Amino acid sequence: MMKFDQRYEKYKAPFGAVEAGSSVRFFMETDRDDSKITLRLWVDGREELISGAREEDGVSFTYTPAHSGIVWYYFLIDGPEGRRYYSGLEGEGSIYTEQPDSYQLTVYDHYETPDWFKNTIVYQIFPDRFRRPGEILGIEEHTRLFGAPRLHGNWSDSPDYLPVNGQRYYVPEDFFGGNLYGVKEKLPYLKSLGVGCIYLNPIFLSSTNHRYNTADYMTVDPMLGGDRALAELAAAAKEYGIRLMLDGVFSHTGSESVYFKEAQSNPHSPCRDWYDFTEYPDKYRCWWGFETLPEVKELTPSYMEFIGGVMEKYAKMGITSWRLDVADELPDGFIEFLRKKLKSIDPDGVLLGEVWEEATNKHSMGGRRKYVDGHELDSVMDYPFRRLLMDFFLGRIDGEGLARSLLRLMENYPPQFYESLLNLMGSHDVVRAITALAGAPDRDSLTREQQAAYSPTIEQLKAGRKRFMAAAAVQYMMPGAPCLYYGDEAGLTGMADPFNRGTYPWGQEDTELIAYFQKLGELHKRAKGGCAFAGRGDVFALYRPEVICMVNRSCEPVTACFANKDFCGNIRAELKNGCIERELPPYGAAILIKGQEERA
């Protein structure tokens, strides 16, 4: 008999990722004394072998990683059967006759992430579509710089999605006129949801409604109210205890930007060095082939100094948190610079990356990215969490699979990084949560015309709404910062961009759903400390010291029953009488808060 299970401290201590310079103990349980067991490590592209110390019921090993990075490991077993291997991608392993996949050990250098972010609620706003408190602003200035904008007079219109005026393809140049004054006006509403941070999609001068083609980082778009509106919003939000997070689009600018125009017109300008011209001045490297988005060379000293100045400007308004667009396409050295700059301005500023995969072992730009190692990001947008919840509620994995996969994320991330994950169900880049959970087709299988025409049945939407509510119960009870995409709590639906960027339905909200999220905002305050997961069939459960959350994805009622031993995580479950049993309605959730119960 041989057994190793990295999820339990009997076999590996401490749990999960470790700080460089700290010792890790591994223990292989075995009743065999006719085999030699060796811990095989793969560190920095080379093999290291560690001999074990025989104990009464197994063999123990001690390893002290010297620096940050990923250590891969498995066990070599040399005995009467010859050489064999013991490993597993997660949890309890198995014996193999050929070299297996390895366990992962994440090693990080000492660093801290802001405490305020770890338990906050984030609300993401696409500014043009959230709130228009009066007339559309900045039309004259926009017309002077970019031409007359296409304006929607009716707030309840659908966004444009087809080419117009002879365009070859759709260009997002239609505007509804939402602005930062509108966000300021609705701060009491956001506070009622428990929001502690507003993440704003790009707000800088631009020709498009999404503003990812920046024209001037030093100017807030006049259509959003300009610098004055941002300063007023920041000041008012502070009074409500709400911080702002800006969207930093630093891998490329717009072709209409003041910087690119200067680079094209003046070969001696410092801006000339920011861009990679293949044939000056008309051919250049651009983002994913879009000529309207010339890429910058981020490590150019003058560019780095300039972006540092951008951070300084908005810090004077009290804004010191940034979400980095396409972090995968930013060099490690540039992200390190941004972190140092931000933390020198405000140690409580948050640097969050757009990373779509599990971030510990993400490879791009020719190698493994060092996001989690202690010198770059505070954390990332947790798209893997969204995918896992979607897979569970749509029947692609069961409760045990969800628990196992969430635990793997917990194991791989440094604890301070994990506790700062932006746990999301919706964003400007994915299908609206209710639509996705109603069983919508894959976005890539439909044209924009087909997405515009797609309409779930009433029954599908009802099921999607119920699943969304159950999924949100998990989202709000998880470690990390739950992120609510504007309008999801009001019942907005829609396929992918631009249909997921509709206007907030003021006056036509799903008030019952809003009340539900207000209640979740209150319950979220109790979701603190460590966490453990359990799952079986259609049921998933989450345990925290003051909270237990149980959800049922089935369209039928179920009886959910879990014992202490069923939970696994960075703490041990301590249930009253050693177990918990609850009746869960179809698509239902139960949240238990230390002696009281809330049913969703």
Question: What is the full per-residue pLDDT of the chain (600 aa) written as tens digits?
Answer: 899 999 999 999 999 999 999 999 999 999 988 899 999 999 999 999 999 999 999 999 999 999 999 999 999 999 999 999 999 988 899 999 999 999 999 999 999 999 999 989 999 999 999 999 999 999 999 999 999 999 999 999 999 999 998 888 899 999 999 999 999 999 999 999 999 999 999 999 999 999 999 999 999 999 999 999 999 999 999 999 999 999 999 999 999 999 999 999 999 999 999 999 999 999 999 999 999 999 999 999 999 999 999 999 999 999 999 999 999 999 999 999 999 999 999 999 999 999 999 999 999 999 999 999 999 999 999 999 999 999 999 999 999 999 999 999 999 999 999 999 999 999 999 999 999 999 999 999 999 999 999 999 999 999 999 999 999 999 999 999 999 999 999 999 999 999 999 999 999 999 999 999 999 999 999 999 999 999 999 999 999 999 999 999 999 999 999 999 999 999 999 998 999 999 999 999 999 998 775 454
Single-letter amino acid code for the residue at 279? E
Residue 598's pLDDT is 47
Cα 283 to Cα 159, 255, 264, 289: the distances in Å are 32, 12, 10, 11
**Which 8-state DSSP code applies to residue 303?**
H
Contacts of 268 (CB under 8 A, 6+ apart): none
> Coil, helix or strand for 89?
coil
Tokens read off for 475: 């989202």
Tokens read off for 224: 């959003």
**Which 8-state DSSP code applies to residue 268?**
T
Residue 166's pLDDT is 85
> Coil, helix or strand for 84?
strand
Cα R_g (the chain), whole angstroms: 26
Using DSSP, how many helices (H) and how many strands (E) does the chain show? Answer: 15, 36
Q: Are strands 277-279 and 243-248 parallel, antiparallel or unpaired?
A: unpaired
Q: Considering the domain 532-599, what is its CATH architecture?
A: Sandwich (2.60)
Q: How far apart, in whole angstroms, are the C-alpha atoms of residue 581 and residue 573?
A: 14
Specify which residues 72 forms β-bridges with: 42, 104
Residue 368's pLDDT is 97
| CA end-to-end span of the chain | 45
**Helices assigned H by DSSP within 287-422:** 301-315, 332-345, 383-393, 399-412, 415-418
Q: Do domains 252-296 and 532-599 have the same CATH topology?
A: no
Give the residue from 184, 182, 149 showing the smallest Cα distance to 164.
Answer: 149
Looking at the domain that runs over 2-108, which CATH code has it been given? 2.60.40.10
Cβ proximity of 358 and 384 under 8 Å: yes
Residue 363's pLDDT is 96
Q: How far apart, in whole angstroms, are the C-alpha atoms of residue 546 and residue 596?
A: 10
Looking at the domain that runs over 115-201+212-251+298-524, which CATH code has it been given? 3.20.20.80
| Residue that is written with structure tokens 């800006």 in the block | 246
| Residue that is written with structure tokens 């930013």 in the block | 330
Give the residue from 286, 299, 297, 356 showing the smallest Cα distance to 325.
Answer: 356
Cβ proximity of 560 and 541 under 8 Å: yes
Query: What residue spans define the domains of the chain?
Result: 2-108, 115-201+212-251+298-524, 252-296, 532-599
Beta strands in 222-359 (DSSP E): 243-248, 277-279, 283-284, 321-324, 351-353
Angle at which helix 383-393 crosses helix 458-477, to 10 degrees, equals 130
Within a 10 A sphere around the Cβ of 394, how many other Cβ atoms? 16
Burial class of residue 565 in the structure, from the number of CB atoms within 10 Å of its CB (0-12 exposed, 13-18 middle, 19+ buried) = exposed
Q: How far apart, in whole angstroms, are the C-alpha atoms of residue 180 and residue 238?
A: 15
The H or E element that residue 216 is part of is strand 216-220
Report residue 452 CA to chain centroid gap. Answer: 27
The H or E element that residue 117 is part of is helix 115-118
Residue 91's pLDDT is 84
Q: Considering the domain 252-296, what is its CATH architecture?
A: Alpha-Beta Complex (3.90)
Burial class of residue 366 in the structure, from the number of CB atoms within 10 Å of its CB (0-12 exposed, 13-18 middle, 19+ buried) = exposed
Report residue 453 CA to chain centroid gap. Answer: 29
Q: Are strands 539-544 and 532-536 parallel, antiparallel or unpaired?
A: antiparallel
pTM of the model: 0.97
Residue 597's pLDDT is 55
